Chains A and B, each alone.
Chain A
């Protein structure tokens, strides 16, 4: 008899942490949203499309998507010194790449859409939470999009695949240790972002991708619900 893998917070292997998603959290922004996986909280704000400055960076053929990702100093256990880090620069770029395929940016030559993501509280999967918040914020801002994207991190703890890795699980040391696989997909299952850190067989990686597909479907439904509920609130206030 195989024993069910025990996760430190009691979750099943395919169970996401409780998700909170809300639209319209920054009144000044053209679009904004908040997304949380359990204790990991991200907020995103969109400004644009607007004139691109500096002028020499303007693209005359299509618009530009510009993402910035940053963690608040106190969002993690050991305070992060304020300012840009290489990690946040990399995640900013990854976020751009995760979102660009769905945005119809060719409609806005010489313009820029700025997406700002900040992590308020971190318990792993911060980039995924950020991407999920950004997708909702872009829709809220009225940007034409082919679809939404949904992001989740799949983990492999020793040999076991799990959904939505927490910080505690990221630090898994037994056996083969932890492998972290953040993946972003459209609602149709197209992958727009994928990273991997650790060690995994090709067979298991394919399995991880299938599991990610199931999880991102669930996340998509939550994002959709948050957007629809927001519009309904506006109606019934």
Chain B
């Protein structure tokens, strides 16, 4: 009996149609967000993000590699996400299944499309040597909305990351030496948020109980009025009007979220 029962589901939907939620939040309100940075010292940058009881850890590691042939003077980005069996009775050991792969790709899309990382500045020697930025996302406790926790974690970890010192002559990364050089990042902070459709209502930051009832969802990466990435997931359909409402809701939430996240992103 792992999933939310149909019974409770009916009640949740009934309540939503009255504009209310079990934990007294508004439909477009986030749970309490708490962020800690530098939670893993061997990472170049790291963050622990908690949204309500949901918790994720994100770490940034950097390594030197060859650039891709079609971007010979730009650094690389690799994003990986794992849904640890530790974090939920629903996750099993084994290679990543679709939900983990989707989570990784959503974070990747949000970071890459927003041009948050200035990849040209990560070039050491054109066509030969560039920095590769690895972002690894791990779920620690899943109580719904891992997507948004992961993207907040990725941005925070990147913001706090330091490029390791590199000895060009010896061609060696000096990992043991402390570095103060931040990653070359753009001033615009992209935030990715997911809006769910449950019954006829648009809901933000669902608990696991609510997430089980989600019929379809849209993850939007952007900031202010600009959208960098968008993905609709799950199988129900949305009307044009609903998409419009979703976009307006996203805009409002970005404003609110920026205020909350401001102090962690300095």
Seen from chain A, the residues whose Cβ lies within 8 Å of a Cβ on chain B are: 26-29, 32, 39, 41, 43-45, 47, 50, 68, 70, 72-79, 82-83, 114, 116-118, 120-122
Contacts and interface: CB of A to CB of B under 8 A. Distances in A.
A194 B142 CA distance: 35
A74 B141 contact: no
A76 B141 CA distance: 22
Contacts of B143: 27-28
Contacts, number: 82
A215 B256 CA distance: 51
A75 B40 contact: yes
Contacts of B86: 26, 29, 32, 43-45, 116-118
| Category for how many chain B residues contact A | 20 to 34
Nearest to A30: B89
Given A73-B134, A121-B42, A114 B175 contact: no
Contacts of A29: 86
B59 A28 contact: no
A194 to B, nearest CB: 26
B233 interface: no
14 contacts: A26-B86, A28-B89, A43-B140, A44-B86, A47-B85, A74-B60, A74-B134, A75-B42, A75-B59, A79-B61, A79-B136, A116-B86, A120-B57, A122-B42
B170 to A, nearest CB: 16
Tell which of A29, A39, A72, A78 has the most Cβ of chain B within 10 Å. A72
A79 B40 contact: no
Contact of B175 (A27, A39, A41, A78): A78
Nearest to B142: A28
Contacts of B84: 70, 116, 118
Given A28-B143, A74-B60, A120-B40, A68 B85 contact: yes
B215 interface: no
Contact of B41 (A83, A117, A121): A121
